[in-house]
Structure 1
Amino acid sequence: MPGLSIDTSSLRRYHSFMMHEKLPHGKLAVKLIALDLDDTLLNRDLTISPRTVSALRAAAARSIFVVICSGRAESGILPFVRRLDIAGLQTGRYVIALNGAVVFDLHTREPLLSKKLDGNVLLEIFREAEKRGLCAQVYSASTIYASVDTKWSHLDSDISGLPLKVVDDFPSFLKRGYAKMLISADPKDIDDFIPFLREKFRGKADFFISKPFFLEVMPPDCGKGEAVLYLAQKLGIARSETMAFGDSMNDESMLRMTAHGVAMSNGLPQIREAAAYVTRKSNDEDGIADFLEAFVL
């Protein structure tokens, strides 16, 4: 309407308030809690706060399975399992790695579930990335293997805590098949590339953006949500008793598929919208501990 003035800052504050009001009305009956790492369980210093450690140990002591569920490989998750000091417990023995491609039992040191992309599909995707001047890397349980040495591959190594190795004949190396490929580039290049990939490789691979500069390539029908429900079924836990915390697009499946999906208040707007609940506090303010103390413990 002519002359109508809209205070957009007020609208943003209202939207933020409504998102923060997505809270349970009482205690939740939970037997499994899945937790993303970066920007969720970890604060900006990439550590887990003492209060959050205490809350998760209390949950594990109450027979609630506490499961770190990350895009990182197994070796990149282990330091945080040690920080929680729950691996020796029955309720702390499982981790989910590589965005759901691997469900790993720390007691038997064996995977319960392990998926990987066909090597020929990986090679084809890599060729498309090469045409655009983009680099890529794949993962074992303990190492990042890169096509070239770039600032992006070093950033991935720094974030994940895994050593980086540049492979001379990367195309031949890909033919073995791997659980995850990461294509890293400036955000605009990623945004331009992903629609093409989703169309060309529909049914052969899944694609999503974990950070603006990281495009993740996964086996089809493989995600954190599928892995969490797979583990819950193995443990005899009903979907109604599952909970997940996350902040980013690679967390969306587990926030939607578990009964109690909880987005961090610092999470992406679309993730806060998709979740059943939103924490009152951010990852830098003990958001997980605050939620668990109020609604689970």
Structure 2
Amino acid sequence: MKHLTISLLLLALFAGCRKDDDPGNVDNIPGLGGDDWVKGPVDTWIIDSMTTPYNMTVKYKWEQGELDPTKALVPPHEAKIIPVLSTIRRGWIKPFEDEMGALFVKRYTPKYFVLVGSSQYNMDGTITLGTAEGGRTIELYTLNDFRVNWMPGFVPGDSANVKQMFHTIQHEFGHILNQTVSYSPDYKRITVGKYTANWVNYTDNEARRRGFITAYSMSGPDEDFVEIVATMLTEGRSGFDRLVNNVTVAGGDGTQPATARALLRQKEAMVVEYYRNSWGVNFYNLQSRTRAALVALIK
């Protein structure tokens, strides 16, 4: 059971990261035509709060065919929709808007969110909590378990669910940005030769002992880069520092703690450089805004 739990955590966020998939039928995007139900208060809120200001829309009405037909999934409770989207606005959109401007948000953020009530359980015993498709669509799962501190029944342990959701969004948005402007190829040489398709067999702690911030980072340079971005933004500067500084044991491949920490710091520096040179933004300012917004939601 312990091994199963570790496997679930390893794959919780990224088992379904599909950047090249067909974005699907755009004719039925709510708020942009093709709607086949009477709009209610939730739909009005989405149009007023997401579609009009940010050019984003949300699909929450159940349409199993839009998702994996081989999975047993359930729709989100309607009462969760506005709290979830309000949280996304406060914890993800607003920090980027404040640091990088409204035009940046409208131009580069994903335009279509698909919300699912349950997790997606996979045949290998893992769970998918979020996926991205074509740099345009993000699917978010497990919405029926979602709570933030203004919702009834919130307890401190619920914060893990909120952090997982934001990590998923930051990860996928990181892909969108570096597909628009590539990061330096020098990044791929920091831990060259250490990437592996067997990343599922490692814990996050073991990955850090080898110079990777999470186990999923070991799957390839692109995932490595956006995992550093997502972790830095979600954990904040002190949280990221803590993860790096807690590497005090050699990795299973013989990587010494000082070397592993140095590798992680190299990757951090290249992320900061990328955001400065490619987007004209101070990443540490963005990190501070994002972490503060997240803490306000889960404290």
Give the TM-score taking structure 2 as reference length: 0.26
- Bigger relative CO (Cα 8 Å, ≥ 6 apart): 1
Structure with greater proportional helix content: 2
TM-score, scaled relative to structure 1: 0.26
Indicate the structure with greater strand content. 1
